[in-house]
Chain A
Amino acid sequence: MSLVPLQPRHITRFDWKEAMTNPSSPAITAVDVHKSFGDNVVLDGLDLAVEQGSVFALLGPNGAGKTTIVRILATLLEADHGTIRVAGRDVRAEADAVRAAIGVTGQFSAVDGLLTGAENLALMADLHHLPRSAARGRIAELLERFELTEAADRIAMTYSGGMRRRLDLAMTLIGSPEVIFLDEPSTGLDPSSRRTVWEIVRSLADEGTTVFLTTQYLEEADRLADRVAILDRGRLVAEGSAQELKQRIPGGRIDVRFTDADAQLAGAAALGMPVSDHHSPSLQIPTDGNVATLRRVLRDLDEADVDVVDLAIHTPDLDDVFFALTGRGAHPQESRTEEEVHR
């Protein structure tokens, strides 16, 4: 266990033996993972691989199985079938070795409400068997980093949601884990706390920690993750960088709104396209987003002297990806969690 905190991991934890025998060992691999609760099939042949030092976002609506896979990867739950390795260790056969290498922040706050922030961190340091002196330094440093120094001696029950989450993350980090699991890290947080959590996640990745996070927020996956995978009905239906996923679907278009139906007809004629929308005086022109297309559209409309009320460029976001891949939108506002469903 590294006692030198917050050093770039690839320097402090370089294991040449492992590097020799297994040059590109991913931080997490899961092959053909199945898990059912009674008749309810939650994971149905899931495969995934997460590179060391990357941020991997698992995106899916409620009930897709996100929490279940996190719990399996974090040794809280056993899969019915499948091979899973985390930090190079088998989660079933070497659960304790896996536990030594991971940190988990669940969907539900895992802080001790009756202990102060500092005591919560001290508890974690004790359970990581850190020597007293090393623990003191590490605790002070984490309190500082997570802006909890002032609240350090207040019991955690009095903390706000954002403070609790920050303390939760700090507790997860005290043992300098190689792989961190964050189950919906920003659910229920206000925008400013969410930004803080995002900054922390990014800085962890910059230090070389592998981060596996689940989210129902497309923006969060887009913003944080090197790789995004979409989970639907127990399987990954897509995987790639956010950019790659966006390219896979034809979502880009220019929306032009006209004053009335006559202008709409004139505009369609000028652009040489049919009127498809008879309900509102607008046109949707497909585009890959380049400037030349936009310039051509504006020039054609200008030359035909058509009045344009409003123009918007719509680039595909992960919501479009999600819709294109699953035929359904993601509905983050539905707040029944998987946890509740499984109980």
Chain B
Amino acid sequence: MTATYALRDSTTMLRRDLLHLQRYPGLSLFPIFMPVVLLLLFVYVFGGTLGNGITVGGGRGAYINFLTPGMLLFTVAGAAQITAISVSKDMTEGIIARFKTMRIWRPAVLAGHVFSSLVLTLISLAVTIAVALAIGYDPAAGPVNWLAAVGVLVLLAVALIWLSVAFGLLAKSVETASNMPMFLILLTFLSSSFVPVASMPGALRWFAENQPFTPVTDTVRNLLAGQHFGGAGLKAIVWCLAITAASYLWARYLYNRRPAN
């Protein structure tokens, strides 16, 4: 029995995980509302001042256009945290032992989490974009650029979700699992998501320029500003694919190694 039932079992698991998100709103609403709160905070509290640093005299309007693409990255990173929690919750409960003693396509358990997390991420992105547009975000992008930007965000989401799956498998408890992806959120602050990298001091600037979130933010920002993919685009895609591949292999190893309860 190899992949005969791959699609069917993955769909079954996806349905289960989506039901979980629906039944446990305390968990699933967090990544939807957190970016909105932060967006409002940054635009209305800090935005007036920060915008002037982006464009002289630009104010709040300049900042919301700068910030929104970065906020979308933050949204993707925040949703990945839920993945780690859900996976860890599954692994620390008895049900994983049941799944492992059944003749199912074994990776289906993880596939369900990856796809349900992707669904949650897309919902969160849609909400963040809607709120941003409502409070004055004015992107120059046409449909093709929008599609490309969402494509890049999905690539990043897949990468971070697989990484979080590995974290969820690695953690011995759900509490640990929920903390592990926190550094992803920190990384968004240490990138070009919230402020231009050029404004940072020496070593920090070097770090920000060379970590994956900066090229991804820059790519999404360029695309939504109606510009070309740019040099950052290739870098962003390579980063995303590399993280995905490494995380997938790591997660697969952990899943097969870890004895079920």
> Do A and B originate from a single complex?
yes
- Asked if B203 is an interface residue, CB under 8 A from chain A, the answer is no
Given the complex of chains A and B, what is the CA–CA distance between A263 and B20 in angstroms? Answer: 73
Per-residue CB contact flags for chain A residues 45-76 toward chain B (1 = under 8 Å, else 0) read 00000000000000000000000000100111
Inside 8 A of A111's CB, which chain B residues have their CB?
A: 94-95
Q: Known interface pairs A114-B19, A127-B99. Does A106 touch B94 (Cβ–Cβ under 8 Å)?
A: yes
A contact residues around B20 at 8 Å (CB):
114
A106 partner, pick from B98, B102, B259, beta carbons under 8 A: B98
Instruction: Give A175 to B102 CA distance when docked, in angstroms.
Output: 10
Asked if A96 and B103 sit within 8 Å, CB to CB, the answer is yes
- Residues in A neighbouring B99, C-beta threshold 8 A: 127
B259 and A77 form a contact (CB under 8 A): yes
Residue B253 at the chain A interface, CB threshold 8 Å: no
Chain A residues positioned under 8 Å from B104 (CB to CB): 127
A123 lies within 8 A of B12 (CB): yes
Q: Is B260 a contact partner of A76 (Cβ separation < 8 A)?
A: yes
Indicate whether B1 reaches chain A with its CB closer than 8 angstroms. yes
Q: Chain B's nearest CB lies how many Å from the CB of A2?
A: 15
| Complex Cα gap A112–B102 (Å) | 15
How far, in angstroms, from A63 to B8 measured CA to CA in the complex?
A: 39
A145 contacts the other chain (Cβ, under 8 Å)?
no
Q: Contacts A112-B95, A114-B23, A115-B19; is A127 near B100 (CB within 8 Å)? A: no
In-complex Cβ contact of A110 among B8, B9, B15, B97 (8 A): B97
Q: Is the CB of A115 within 8 A of B16?
A: yes
Count chain A residues whose beta carbon lies closer than 8 angstroms to a beta carbon of B: 32
Q: Which residues of B contact A96 (CB under 8 A)?
A: 1, 103
A123 to B102, CA, bound (A): 12
Residues of B within 8 A of A127 (CB): 9, 12, 99, 102, 104
Cβ-defined contact, B98 with A110, below 8 A: yes
Check B103 against A100 for contact (C-beta < 8 Å): yes
A102 at the interface (CB under 8 A from B): yes
CA separation between A106 and B96, bound complex, in Å? 11
**Please, which residue of chain A has its CB at the minimum distance from the CB of B98?**
A110
In the bound assembly, the distance between CA atoms of A128 and B20 in angstroms comes to 21
Is A99's CB within 8 Å of the partner chain B?
A: yes
Enumerate 10 A-B pairs (CB-CB under 8 Å) in ascending A order: A96-B103, A99-B102, A100-B103, A102-B101, A108-B93, A108-B94, A123-B16, A126-B15, A127-B102, A172-B98
Q: 4 closest pairs, A vs B, by CB?
A: A110-B94, A108-B94, A110-B98, A99-B103
